[in-house]
Amino acid sequence: MTTPETAPTPDTPTTDQTLTARAETSGQWIAGLIATAMLDTVATPHQLPHLLFPDIDPDTVDRIWNLALPVGYRAGQLAAAPRFHRDTLHRLQTALTDAGYTAMARLTQQTRNTLPPAHPADHETTHHGVRGGHE
């Protein structure tokens, strides 16, 4: 039996990771409740964007939302498999830099920096032009 005097002290990284995971899980649970309550409050998913801008004309909100929705969808595609979009991320970062959008380019670079190193097979092609050597 371990007594309090002899109980092992968890190391800082383990404690940090454990408490971070606990906080993230709790945050996700709360976020789910809030998302559910937002829909329950406005009654229809079409009205959800109006919660963001309650003091703005509904037609203006719809125009903003109709522009933002495809951006969010594309971000989701990139986030789902960013290692398959290395070239796209690099191309768009370069375009942002060249156009003077340096802060946005810096954010893109930060995202690119979080990707694991490319596997050599990612750059191979077969005689059919298939990447990764698989047909």
Mean pLDDT of the chain: 84
Tens of pLDDT, residues 115-128: 877 666 665 666 56
DSSP string, 63-90: HHHHHHHHHHHHHHHHHHSGGGGHHHHH
Tens of pLDDT, residues 48-78: 888 888 999 999 999 988 988 899 899 989 8
Mean pLDDT of 98-117: 89
- Give the C-alpha separation, 52 to 42, whole Å: 12
Instruction: Please determine, for residue 3, whether its predicted confidence score (pLDDT) is greater than 80.
Output: no
Instruction: Please determine, for residue 31, whether its predicted confidence score (pLDDT) is greater than 70.
Output: yes
pTM score, two decimals?
Answer: 0.52
